[in-house]
């Protein structure tokens, strides 16, 4: 079959790399893709939210299945667009409907969903300009730290963890009265701070059944030792030694299964990946957030650890036959290290030549590209996160060490990466 993959990051390069290994994949198209995905299939210069052009491209290229990488097209309704158009309704879209994507697109929607279905999460209040003074009272009476979240998508910047009440009140005012996050912050979720160790758990669901995929941990802060600003993710590791069988059993019973049952009960159409951002508080899992897609850079450690044919998994998802499949996982540890442009997550330069990509990649390592493009026969930088190296090892530290070593073979001006990914797992 012909497949279209939507997106342009390291996640999509990892997906593209895996899709092309399937005998079921005839032609692979990526919209818009990057210099890395160009080596796996045909990049189409179409923006991820240009549904009209995407559907024209699917019709002319006889695409049978679409895998959606990022959240934006999902939250904007790519699933519904293809389903509701007679010319494209035969095409399978792997990803939730617009309404179900609200699990990621609206924090208030996600919180209400969890409350309705008894899924453990932080206690919260929801406020707009209409009940502003209630919000002020709620914040004043709340223990510290306190968490403020812009309701809508805010490019990963909409969550504020405040250590002081005055800071929380001032941020609350900025969001509701001064449009700090634009429309995304017109509604604010104020919630309890959860302590514990964060982890990401992923499932692939067909709306009825689900497959638990390998779990991962993402390193969000830009600086070593988890310091500095938040980023899209500077590295990831999988599996996690602390996510043992009893803990994962609790995650299934208390979180995953009620979520899938809740989607069904609420008639939310969902055939795709669910990303559970969890806190493990002394062995008790709670949901921090839902994402309606795979994570980046988590995909770069999760997908290489899955031995199954990805196209078979996606087909079974579309046909609601996931109960017929078992996930076959590589038992080794994987560690991904992300190289970013100097200045990221603030301003950074682009169009800088990347060196070393043509050199041999070590056995047990993979190089995925994120913010790259081809220009005058060279691969140049085209984003904050530029390259991802994933390596396997018998321990997390062995895998991370090899990714760091491989990173040393790659270079672009201003390149920076954290050399301490997996540091807490010696």
Q: Does 330 bind ligand AMP (CB under 6 A)?
A: no
Contacts with ligand AMP, 192-221, as mask; x by CB under 6 A: -xx---x---------------------x-
Task: Report the relative pairing of strands 92-94 and 65-68 from DSSP bridges.
Answer: parallel
Q: Quick one: what does residue 182 bind among ligand GLY, ligand AMP, none, with the CB cut-off 5 to 8 Å set by partner type?
A: none
Residues β-bridged to residue 218: 236
Q: Output phi, psi for 227, to 5 deg.
A: -120, 165
Residue 301 CB, nearest distance to ligand GLY (Å)? 11
For residues 18 to 57, the per-residue mask of contacts with ligand AMP, x marking binding by CB under 6 A and - elsewhere, is: ----------------------------------------
- Residue 306 has phi, psi (to 5 degrees) of -90, 125
Shortest distance, CB of residue 160 to ligand AMP, whole angstroms? 9
Nearer to ligand GLY, 17 or 82 (CB): 17
Strand duo 333-340 + 235-238: pairing: antiparallel
Instruction: Give, as ranges, the residues between 122 and 151 that touch ligand AMP (CB under 6 A).
Output: 122, 147
Cβ 284 to ligand AMP shortest distance, Å: 14
User: Residue 177, Cβ neighbours under 10 Å: how many?
Assistant: 10
Closest CA to 158 of 110, 106, 103, 197: 106
What is the binding site for ligand GLY (CB under 6 A)?
218, 232-233, 291, 295-296, 298
Q: Could you tell me which of 227, 222, 276 has the C-alpha nearest to residue 385? A: 222
- Pick between residue 112 and residue 159 the one whose CB is nearest to ligand AMP: 159
What residues from 256 to 285 belong to the interface with ligand AMP (CB under 6 A)? Answer: 277
- The span from the CA of 233 to the CA of 53, in Å, is 30
Residue 251 Cα distances to 12, 35, 141, 216, 285, angstroms? 27, 38, 31, 14, 6
Tell me which residues touch ligand AMP (CB under 6 A): 122, 147, 156, 159, 161, 191, 193-194, 198, 220, 277, 288-289
């Amino acid at each position: 079959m012909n497949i279209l993959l939507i997106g342009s990051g390291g996640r999509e390069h990892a997906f593209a790399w895996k899709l092309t290994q399937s005998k079921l994949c005839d032609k692979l198209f990526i919209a818009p893709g990057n210099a890395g995905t160009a080596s796996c299939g045909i990049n189409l210069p179409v923006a991820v939210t240009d549904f009209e052009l995407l559907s024209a491209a699917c019709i002319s290229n006889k695409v049978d299945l679409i895998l959606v990488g990022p959240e934006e097209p999902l939250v904007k309704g790519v699933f519904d667009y293809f389903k509701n158009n007679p010319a494209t309704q035969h095409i399978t879209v792997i990803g939730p409907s617009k309404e179900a994507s609200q699990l990621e697109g609206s924090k208030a929607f996600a919180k209400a969903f969890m409350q309705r279905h008894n899924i453990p999460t932080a206690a919260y209040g929801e406020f707009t300009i209409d009940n502003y003074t209630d919000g002020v009272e709620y914040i004043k009476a709340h223990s510290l730290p306190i968490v403020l979240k812009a309701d809508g998508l805010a490019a990963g910047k909409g969550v504020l963890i405040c250590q002081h009440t005055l800071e929380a009140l001032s941020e609350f005012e900025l969001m509701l009265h001064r449009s700090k996050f634009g429309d995304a912050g017109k509604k604010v979720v104020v919630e309890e701070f959860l302590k514990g160790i964060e982890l990401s758990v992923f499932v692939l669901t067909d709306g009825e059944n689900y497959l638990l995929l390998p779990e991962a941990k993402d390193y969000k802060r830009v600086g070593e030792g988890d310091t500095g600003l938040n980023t899209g993710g500077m590295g990831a590791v999988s599996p996690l030694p602390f996510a043992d069988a009893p803990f994962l059993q609790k995650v299934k019973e208390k979180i995953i299964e009620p979520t899938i049952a809740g989607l069904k009960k609420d008639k939310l159409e969902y055939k795709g990946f669910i990303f559970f951002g969890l806190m493990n508080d002394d062995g008790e899992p709670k949901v921090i957030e839902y994402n309606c897609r795979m994570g980046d850079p988590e995909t770069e450690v999760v997908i290489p650890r899955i031995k199954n044919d990805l196209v078979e998994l996606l087909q079974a998802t579309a046909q609601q036959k996931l109960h017929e499949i078992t996930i076959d996982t590589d038992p080794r540890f994987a560690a991904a290290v992300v190289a970013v442009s100097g200045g990221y997550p603030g301003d950074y330069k682009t169009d800088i030549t990347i060196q070393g990509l043509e050199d041999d990649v070590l056995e047990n390592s993979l190089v995925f590209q994120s913010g790259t493009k081809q220009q005058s026969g060279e691969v140049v930088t085209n984003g904050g996160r530029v390259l991802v190296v994933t390596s396997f090892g018998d321990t997390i530290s062995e895998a991370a060490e090899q990714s760091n070593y491989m990173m040393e073979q790659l270079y672009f001006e201003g390149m920076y990466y954290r050399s301490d990914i997996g540091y807490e797992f010696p």
